[in-house]
């Protein structure tokens, strides 16, 4: 039997240090969550599957996609998945992986009204000085009865149970 992980802790300072030294989200993922990676990927895939009931036009947007885990899982589940990220290294990494991504702010992307079935904002709003602006734009680009999936960063680390 392999090692079973029930909790994974990612310290913010450690993440920043590793990122600055290695400048790669793929390497950070391997270094920081090597033990729990499979469990995290499986949970992300489960969460994406839960959003399938909202699929009308098959369009999903991940705002602040970071390492691209949700984008990859959504693409794997058959979504026409797009992502927006302000981090140039994260954008470059996702683009090299073949993901449909935009580098910049959501308002700069100029998506059409009522365009997306699902919009994800995982651990994004709490980092913004004016989150209402982002929520207004998400409301504009999300189709009626679409899903706005926001998950705040609840604790200092990620807990996989």
Please tell me what DSSP assigns to residue 150.
E
Report the pLDDT value the prediction gives residue 161, as an integer from 0 to 100: 32
**Domains of the chain and CATH, by start:** 12-151 (3.40.50.150)
Contacts of 77 (CB under 8 A, 6+ apart): 45, 48, 49, 52
Backbone Cα Rg of the chain: 16
State the greatest distance between any 2 C-alpha atoms of the chain, in Å, as a whole number.
51
84 with 102: CB under 8 angstroms? Answer: yes
Distances (CA, A) of 87 to 19, 39, 44, 110, 125: 11, 26, 21, 19, 15
Report the pLDDT value the prediction gives residue 7, as an integer from 0 to 100: 31
Per-residue pLDDT of the chain (161 residues; tens, 9 = 90+): 444 433 333 333 333 333 333 444 444 344 334 444 566 677 777 777 777 788 899 999 999 999 888 898 899 888 999 999 999 999 999 999 999 999 999 999 999 999 999 999 988 888 788 888 989 999 999 999 888 888 766 544 443 33
Report the pLDDT value the prediction gives residue 9, as an integer from 0 to 100: 34
CA angle 73, 89, 16 (to 5 degrees): 95
Tokens of 146: 């679409």
Report the pLDDT value the prediction gives residue 154, as an integer from 0 to 100: 58
Report the pLDDT value the prediction gives residue 38, as an integer from 0 to 100: 65
Report the pLDDT value the prediction gives residue 111, as an integer from 0 to 100: 97
Report the pLDDT value the prediction gives residue 51, as an integer from 0 to 100: 76
């Amino acid at each position: 039997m392999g090692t079973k992980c029930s909790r994974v802790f990612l310290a913010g300072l450690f993440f920043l240090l590793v990122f600055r030294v290695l400048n790669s989200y793929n390497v950070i993922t391997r270094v920081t969550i090597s033990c729990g990676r499979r469990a995290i990927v499986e949970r992300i895939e489960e969460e994406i599957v839960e959003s399938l009931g909202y699929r009308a036009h098959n369009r999903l947007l991940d705002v602040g996609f970071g390492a691209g885990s949700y984008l990859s899982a959504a693409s794997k589940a058959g979504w026409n998945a797009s992502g927006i990220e302000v981090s140039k290294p994260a954008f470059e990494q996702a683009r090299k992986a073949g993901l449909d991504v935009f580098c910049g702010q959501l308002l700069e992307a100029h998506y059409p009204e009522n365009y997306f079935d699902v919009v994800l904002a995982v651990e994004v709003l709490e980092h913004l000085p004016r989150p209402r602006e982002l929520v207004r734009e998400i409301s504009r680009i999300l189709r009626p009865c679409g899903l706005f999936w926001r998950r705040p960063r609840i604790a200092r680390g990620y807990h996989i149970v």
